[in-house]
Structure 1
Amino acid sequence: MKIVIIGGVAGGMSAATRLRRLNEKAEIIVLEKGPYVSFANCGLPYYIAGEIEERSDLLVQTPEQLQARFALDVRPNSEAISIDAEKKEVRVKSSEEEYALSYDKLILSPGAKPVVPPADGIEEAKNIFTLRSVPDVDGITEFIEQHQPKKAVVIGAGFIGLEMAESLVSRGLEVTIVEKAPHVLPPFDEEMAAYITKELKTHGVQLYTGLGATAFEDEGKTVVLENGERLVSDLTLMSVGVSPESALAKTAGIETGLRGGILVDEQYETSQKDIYAVGDAIIVKQQVTGEDALIALASPANRQGRQVADVISGLPRRNKGSIGTAIVRVFDLAAASTGLNERQLKQADKTYDVIHIQGKSHAGYYPNASTILLKLLFHPVNGKIYGAQAIGKDGADKRIDIIATAIKAGLTVQDLPELEFTYAPPFGSAKDPVNMAGYAALNVIEGISESIQWYELEEKQKEGHLLLDVRNESELENNGRLKGAVNIPLDSLRERMTEIPKDRPIIVSCHSGLRSYIAERLLKQDDYTVKNLDGAFALYSTINAEKVEK
C-alpha cells in the first residue's frame, strides 16, 4: 500500500508514525510545504519570551530522524498543488521540480492558517506578523533583534494573542491589546475573563475591547482603531483566529462545510473515496451538543492522526468528535476551560444552570495555597455537564481535566461528589473544588439552594429585593461594600433575624458564596424567600468594580 500524507506536525506525523508501527511494508510519503515537518507550534510564544532557550528544542523530529526510525519518506518544502481523485494522483511542487505522485490512500492534514482581516495599508506595513510556524517565529525574533522595538500592538486577545502579549512584555516591550469582542479571552464567559483583564492591567498591558483595527499608516507604525484612535506600534502581531486550510481539498472536489472546514465521516474519510482528513482543517462534532464545530487544538489532532491510521489499517476506530479542552497562562494566572460557555449554550437554545465556587489549590493551612475560581454549567434537571471554566495561579488545569474526563465519560454533576482524588496537604484538599462544585450543583438541582447571577443583581434590587451581606465588618472596611446592601455578619444572623423584613425577597452575599449559602439555609427555614448571589462579592466586585463602595 502507498500512503501519501499532505501536511505534518500533529495530525500528519501522528498518522505517519502510527501507520508505520502497524504496516512495516507500506510506502509512506509525507509532503510538507514548509521547511519543518514536525515542530512544537504551541511552544512558539515561549521561545520568543526566552523561556525556551534553544530554537532546536522546537523541532520535534527531523526528516533524517524520521527516516532512520520509521523509514518514512519525508519531503519538506514540497507543496501539494492539486489532487486528481479519479487518477489517485497528487501534483507536487518542490524547490527543484514539479511532479505527479500516485497514492492508494491519501491523508490531508493541512492545518489552519491565521486570519488576516482586510485593512487599509496592511500590504505596505513592514512590522506586522502572524505566529503559526517556525519561519513565523524566526521572522519575529529577527525583527526584534534588528529593530529593538519599544511598543507592540497585539490584535486579538485569544490564546495566542495573550501568550504573545506576555512574551513581548517579558522582552521589555510596552504592549497594547486590541480585541473586537467585548472582553479578552472570548472563549470564556465575561466574568471569568475579568480576572484575566485584571491580571493584564496589573502587568502594565493596555487594553482596548469592543474595537477592531481598520487601517495601518506609516508602513504599519500607526494602527487606526474603529473609533478613530491611533496607536503607535513598532511591532504588530495579528492574532484574530485561524481558518481551515482547505483550498486544496476544494479544488479536488471534496465537500466542505462550516467556515470552509473539510467534511469527514466517522472514519475520517472525505466525500472523495480513499481521501481522508484530520486536524485543524476538519469539521468535528462538538460532543456536548452534537453540532458541527471547528476545534483547532493539538490534542484532538494527535488523536485523529492516530485513529485515521488505525482505520486505514483495518482497526475499528470511530471519530467521536471533541469537546474543546484548553488552557492558557497569562502572567501569574492560568485560565482553563472545557465544553461549552454560556454564550454557546444560549446559541444552542439549551436550558442550563450555573454555579461558581472558590476552592484552594491544596489544603488551605499548608503554605502557598492559592484560590481557584471554578464555574460549572449543567442541565438543571438531569445534571448533564455542559462545560466548565477555571481561573487560578495553580491547579486550574487539574480541575478542568477532571471535568473534561467526566464529560467524556457521560458523568453528571451528581457524580462529581463521588469522585475520589489523592489527598495530602501539599497536593490537594479533602474536599476538592470539583467535589464542592458537585455539591453546589446538586443543591441547586434539588432545590436546596437557589441562586442569581452577577448580571441579575442590579435588576433584582430595582424590583425590590433586599441585598443582605453577611461578611464581617472588617471585610467591608478592607474590601468594600455592595451598593444598597444591609450588613449582618453570619455569626450574628440568628439573633438579628428580626431586622430582616419578611415581606421582601432576600438576596444573600458573602465573600465567596459559602457563608451566604449557610445564611440562605438559615433564613429559608424561618420562612424567608431567599436566593444566593452566585460567586458572591469576590466575583461581583471583579466584574463590577465601579459598583463597589469603598
Structure 2
Amino acid sequence: MTSERKRLLIVGGVAGGASCAARARRLSETAEIIMFERGQYVSFANCGLPYYVGDVITDEQKLIVANADLFKDRFNIDVRLENEVLDIDKETATIKVKNNKTGEIYQESYDALVLAPGAASIRPQLPGIDLPGIFAVRTIPDSRRIREWIEQKQVKRAVVVGGGFIGLEMTENLLHRGIAVTLLQNQSQVMAPLDPEMAAPIHDRLAAHGVKLRLGDGVVGFESNPDGSINAIAESGEIHTTDLVILAIGVRPETTLAKAAGLEIGARGGIRVNEQMQTSDRRIWAVGDAVEVQDFVTKEWTFIPLAGPANRQGRIAANAIFDRNTNFRGVQGTSVCGLLGLAIASTGANEKTLKHLGWSYDKVYLHPGHHVGYYPNAKPINMKLLFSPVDGKILGAQAVGEDGVEKRIDVISMAIQLGATVYDLEEAELCYAPQFGAAKDPVNLAGMIAANDLNQDAPLAHWEYLPKLNGLLLDVRGVNEFAAGHVEGAINIPLPELRQRMSELPAEKEIWVYCQVGQRGYYATRALRLNGFDAYNLSGGFKTYQARKN
C-alpha cells in the first residue's frame, strides 16, 4: 500500500468508475476519493435491465450492485449522486460540478481524474422519434418507465429496432410477458459479432417463437394513431402498428467532457487511451464504454462496450495512478447472449473482420454434442474456429447452441490470451464426465480438425468455393439421408461402401467430400487420400451448407 496523499476524482460509476474507486481505496488508505454521478445510481447492473422489463427480475433493488452508503461505509469513498460534471480545466487541474438537486455550481481540484461517463443510446433524428411509447434501455429509470408503460397501456404488440445484445434480450423478455414482437434489423443478420452463417440458428429460433423478423429493413420514422398506437415505418415501406417501440440500435461513447477539454478522440469516436488507460493528458485517465482501445487479436483500434473490460480497465487505471506497473492487454470482445434457450457466444476476430483487414486465415466448422451422445439430452453446438494457416495461432471462435456453449468459448478465449495455437487445443486437458462433456471435448475436436487441415492429413474445403470445383462432389451419407436432401450435382456413395467402390471415382480430379456434420466426411477423406486420391473434407458438412443458404 502507498501512504502518498492523492486527490482522486472519478466522473461516473457503474462498472469502470466504481471498480476504479474501490481498487484505488485498496491501494491507498490516505487518498481522498470522490465519485460524481449525474444519475441516481452509482453502480447498477445494466446487463440485467431487459430481465427487469421482462419480469424475470421482479425487485428493482436487485439491480443495484452498490449504493452511496456502501461506498462510504466500506471504502470511505465520497459518492455524490445527481452531481453533474460540466467542465474540465486541465491547466488548473479542476472540474466544475453542478449539484442537480440544489442547483449549486462548485469546483473541485484533482491530482488524478478518471473519466467513466459511459455511452449513450443511439437515438437517431427520425420523424416521430420522440412520440410517447418509444424507449431506449440504458438505465434503471429507462426500464422502470418501460414496465410502467406495459402495465398502464396493456401492451400486446412491440417493435424492437436492432438485433444486437439488447435487441435480442428485449425480444425474449417481451415474449416472456406475452407481447408479440416484430424485430427490425437493417443488416442482413442479427448479432453482428457473428459471421452470417453462424447467425442462421438464431433466425430460426426467433421464427419458431413467432417473432416477425425483418432483416435488411431498418426503421425510417414513426407516426401516432388516434387510438394511441404507433406506426413504425420501415425502409421497405412496410408499416408495423404497435403499442411499444424499443430502440436497441446501439450506443456511442459519451465524450462531451473529453472533447471540450481537448483530449484526443479516436477514429471510432471514443476517448483515446494508452495501455495504462491514460488519456492524452498525463493527469487524466478514462475507462469503460467511453474509451477506444486496441483489439487484442488484430491490434486495430476499436470500441467494444462490455462490462468485463470496463471492470478491468478501472482496476488498471487505479493501479497506474498509484504507481503499479500493469497494462491493459486489449479487448477480444468475448461475450455471450441468451435467447429463447440458445446461448450465443464469441471471442476474438470474426471472418468479416479478417477479410476486411486482408488477413490470411483458415477456418473450421463443427457441430459436436455438448456432452457424450449416450448420456441423455446431448445438445449440438454449432462452432466455428478461425486460425492462422501459417502457424495455427487462434484468431477467433463463435458458437451457438443450447448447452455448454459459453464454457467452450471461455476456454478458447483464454487460449487466445496466451497466444495458443490449434495444436494447443488438441492437447487441452478439460473436465470430462458423461453429463458434462466428452473425452474429446468440442474444444479438442476443433483443434484436431484444424491441425488435420494444416498437416494436410484431412485438408478442408469450404462451401463458398463450391462453384469453383473442377472435380467431383461426393456425399458419403446414407441413401435415405441423401434422398431427404443433398447438394445439387453430388454423387452418393455411403461411407460403409466407399472402399469397395473407389474404382468408380476419378483418380485425376479433386474430390470434395461431405456428410451431415463432418465426421464421416473426415473418415472418407482419410481413406481416399491413403488410396492416392486428392480428397478434401467440406468443413461442417451438409448442416453448414444449409446454414449458409439460409
Measure how far apart 1:464 and its partner are: 4.3
CA contact 2:36–2:83 (8 Å) conserved in 1: yes
2:505 is aligned with 1:496: no
- Asked if residue 191 in structure 1 is aligned to residue 197 in structure 2, the reply is yes
Q: Which residue of 2 aligns with 1:178?
A: 184
Q: What is aligned with 2:435?
A: 426
Residue identity matched to 1:420: E
- One of 332, 357, 380 as aligned partner of 1:348: 357
Contact 2:268–2:302 (Cα < 8 Å) also in 1: no
CA distance in 1, matches of 2:51, 2:30: 39
Of 19, 30, 33, 1:28 maps to 33
Residue 53 of structure 2 contacts residue 144 of structure 2 at CA under 8 Å; is this kept in 1? no
Structure 2 residue matching 1:90: 3-state secondary structure: strand
**Partner of 1:260: helix, strand, or coil?**
coil
Residues 1:241 and 2:250 are matched in the alignment? yes
Q: C-alpha deviations, 1:106-162, integer Å up to 9, x for none? A: 000011111122212213x11111111111111111110111111111111011111
Matched, 1:105 2:118: no
Alpha-carbon contact 2:424-2:447 (below 8 Å) kept: yes
SS in structure 1 at match of 2:360:
coil
Q: Which residue of 1 aligns with 2:444?
A: 435
* CA–CA separation in structure 2 for the residues paired with 1:350 and 1:106: 39
Q: 1:496-543 CA distances to partner (integer Å, 9 max, x unpaired)? A: 222333344322111110101111111222332322211111121233
SS, match of residue 81 in structure 1:
strand
Give yes or no for contact 1:120–1:214 (8 Å, CA) kept in 2. yes
CA distance in 1 between counterparts of 2:526 and 2:14 reads: 54
Tell me the equivalent position of 1:302.
311
Look up the match of 2:68.
Answer: 63
Aligned partner letter, 2:45: A
Report deviation, 1:364. Answer: 1.7
Partner of 1:283: 292
Letter in 1 for 2:481: E
One-letter code aligned to 1:522: A
Unaligned runs of 5+ in 1: 546-550
Q: Residue 200 of structure 1 is aligned with which of 206, 220, 229?
A: 206
Counterpart of 1:83 in structure 2 is 88
For 2:514 and 2:386, the matched residues in 1 are separated by 21
Q: What CA distance in whole angstroms lies between the structure 2 residues aligned with 1:465 and 1:241?
A: 46
What does residue range 367-386 of structure 1 map to in structure 2 within 5 Å? Answer: 367-386=376-395
Q: Map residues 15-54 of structure 1 onto 2, 5 A cutoff.
A: 15-54=20-59
* Aligned positions, number: 540
- Aligned to 2:516, the other structure's residue is in SS state coil
8 A Cα contact 1:454 1:535, kept in partner: no
Aligned counterpart, 1:2: 7
Structure 1: how far apart are the matches of 2:416 and 2:445? 17
Deviation track 1:22-41 (CA, whole Å, cap 9, x = no partner) reads 11121111101111111001
What is the CA-CA distance between 1:495 and the residue it aligns to? Answer: 1.2
Q: Distance in 1 between matches of 2:509 and 2:278?
A: 61
CA distance in 1, matches of 2:204, 2:522: 27
Q: Which residue of 1 aligns with 2:3?
A: none
Q: Are 1:508 and 2:513 matched, yes or no? A: yes
User: Structure 2-normalised TM-score?
Assistant: 0.96
Q: Distance in 1 between matches of 2:36 and 2:420?
A: 41
Secondary structure in structure 1 of the residue aligned to 2:367: strand
CA contact (8 A) 1:278 1:301 kept: yes
RMSD of aligned residue pairs (Cα, Å): 1.4
Return the offset for 1:49. 1.7
The separation in 2 between residues aligned to 1:531 and 1:117, in whole angstroms, is 49
Q: Where does 1:132-531 land on structure 2 (aligned, <5 Å)?
A: 132-218=138-224, 221-457=230-466, 459-460=467-468, 463-477=469-483, 479-531=484-536
Post-superposition Cα deviations, 1:462-495, rounded to whole Å, max 9, x if no partner, equal: x543221111123335x52322221111011111
Paired AA for residue 87 in structure 2: S
- Indicate if the aligned counterparts of 2:268 and 2:301 stay in contact, CA closer than 8 A: no
- State the secondary structure of the residue aligned to 1:113: strand
Map of 1:74 onto structure 2: 79
How much identity, in percent, do the aligned residues show?
Answer: 48
SS in 2 for 1:502: coil
Q: CA deviation at 1:52?
A: 1.6
Letter in 2 for 1:202: A
* Structure 1: distance between partners of 2:330 and 2:509: 49
Measure, in 2, the Cα distance between the counterparts of 1:116 and 1:529. 55
What TM-score does the superposition give when structure 1 sets the normalisation length?
0.96
CA distance in 2, matches of 1:530, 1:117: 52
Q: Measure, in 2, the Cα distance between the counterparts of 1:476 and 1:201.
A: 27
The 1-side partners of 2:338 and 2:385 are apart by: 20
Unaligned runs of 5+ in 2: 1-5
For residues 266-287 of structure 1, give each alpha carbon's deviation from its aligned partner in whole angstroms, at most 9, with x where no partner exists: 2211112311101111111101
Whole-angstrom CA distance in 2 between matches of 1:474 and 1:138: 55
Separation (CA, whole Å) in 2 of partners of 1:359 and 1:9: 38
Report if aligned partners of 1:244, 1:259 keep a CA contact under 8 Å in 2: no
Deviations 1:394-427 (A, max 9, x none): 1110000000000001111111111101211122
Deviation larger for 167-176 or 448-457:
448-457
Q: Which 10-residue stretch deviates more, 311-320 or 389-398?
A: 311-320
Answer yes or no: is the 8 Å Cα contact 2:370–2:380 preserved in 1. Answer: yes
